[in-house]
Amino acid sequence: MLNYFFKRLASVIPTIFLVTIIIFGLQQLLPGDPAVILAGEDQDPNVVAYLHKKMHLDEPLPVRYGYWIAGVMHGDLGESLRIQQPVVQLIKEKLPVTLELAALAMTIALIIGIPAGIISAVAKDSVWDYAANVVALWGLSTPNFWLGILMILLFSVSLGWLPASGYVSPFEDLKANLAAMIMPAFVLGNAIAAVLMRHTRSAMLQVLNADYIRTARAKGLNERTVVLKHALRNAMTPIITLGALEFGTLLSGAVLTEQVFSIPGFGKLIVDAVFNRDYAVVQGVVLFTSTVYIVLNLLADLAYFFVNPRLRG
């Protein structure tokens, strides 16, 4: 297992390095001079010159990249010039919010998507199969912001069961926290559940037609054991990949959903940073979420090792 882990890790490090180059390079293509924008309406030449020096904008591009990557390697992602806070501190403040939302959304998606995919595959061409596919198609076709607005109108405005927006820390009031997070979590989880259902169904149909499944049935094994122990375990590889990628997407910030429900997570943070030309925040958040994506893929590869016995040979 250690050899497998180190092989995968060896490909992660250069990937992260390449990501830093892409992030920094694309950042330079954004229009406008950040120093001029941050200097305010007066645009005092002395202030602009000071900001150029502080942000190393008067240095050549490779030198500026060197300053930035040196800071990154020491855990310094820069400082937000707009609110005068370290980017690392902003990430620490927003990460728990987005992490909770992502975890709730992923839990809802797994509870709905995987069982629906299994039932759809086992009961192929039945009423259950058609119903599951219709629900999955609805989940894939429904825009998150539209579903969010409808849920606010129904559960907040009409019924008054849940708050329309806002965020309460679970450490302050757990009940109020869950009440505020359940709608945005369902909106995000609904779309992911539809994708998981389709992939689970496809993978299960392929596995259920395999020779070893027919052999297991011929031996008289219980159908539930055949489906859950033999078929599902061998169909898990694409599901693990999809789950890791979708969780990474959620952690990168569900911008529209967070905006609709006024959730102060990564989505709102990066939107505000882009509009205010707060480049250090944009670079820091994008680098963090990209790294999370890469790490989640590494964890998915390690999960294959445990799920697929052939990799252990």
Cα separation of 77 and 70, whole Å?
A: 9
- Are residues 101 and 109 in contact, defined by beta-carbon separation less than 8 angstroms? no
Residue predicted with more confidence, 55 or 99: 99
Same domain, 66 and 146: no
Same domain, 137 and 171: yes
Minimal CA–CA distance to 286: which of 258, 311, 267, 309? 267
Residue 111 in 3-state DSSP?
helix
Same domain, 196 and 106: yes
Same domain, 10 and 115: no
Look at residue 107 in the predicted model and tell me its pLDDT: 92
Mean of all residue pLDDT scores within the chain? 81
> Residue-wise over 236-267: b if at least 16 C-beta within 10 A, else e?
bbebbbbbbbbbbbbbbbbbbbbebbebebbb
Q: Which two tokens stand for residue 60?
A: 């050549």
Look at residue 41 in the predicted model and tell me its pLDDT: 64
Residue 250 binned pLDDT confidence (cut-offs 50, 70, 90):
confident
- Are residues 69 and 233 in contact, defined by beta-carbon separation less than 8 angstroms? no
Cα separation of 195 and 186, whole Å?
A: 14
Tens digits of per-residue pLDDT, 140-199?
888 888 888 888 998 988 888 888 888 888 888 888 889 989 999 999 888 888 888 988
Same domain, 134 and 236: yes
- Are residues 207 and 122 in contact, defined by beta-carbon separation less than 8 angstroms? no
Look at residue 52 in the predicted model and tell me its pLDDT: 75
Among the ranges given (72-86, 130-144, 262-276, 295-309), the one the predictor scored with the smallest mean pLDDT: 295-309
Residue range(s) defining the domain that contains residue 63 = 2-87
Same domain, 65 and 114: no
Residue 32 binned pLDDT confidence (cut-offs 50, 70, 90):
low
Look at residues 70, 87, 104 and tell me which one is the last residue of a structural domain.
87
Domain count, the chain: 2
Look at residues 68, 87, 106 and tell me which one is the last residue of a structural domain.
87
Look at residue 313 in the predicted model and tell me its pLDDT: 53
- 141: domain CATH number is 1.10.3720.10
Minimal CA–CA distance to 23: which of 74, 76, 77, 60? 77
- Are residues 104 and 185 in contact, defined by beta-carbon separation less than 8 angstroms? yes
Same domain, 106 and 215: yes
Same domain, 28 and 173: no
Look at residues 87, 105, 123 and tell me which one is the last residue of a structural domain.
87
Residue 311 has pLDDT above 60, yes or no: no
Same domain, 167 and 201: yes
Same domain, 195 and 282: yes
| Overall average pLDDT of the 76-101 stretch | 84
- Is pTM beyond 0.85 here? no
Same domain, 200 and 301: yes
Residue 309 binned pLDDT confidence (cut-offs 50, 70, 90):
low
Among the ranges given (2-6, 108-112, 180-184), the one the predictor scored with the smallest mean pLDDT: 2-6
Same domain, 81 and 108: no
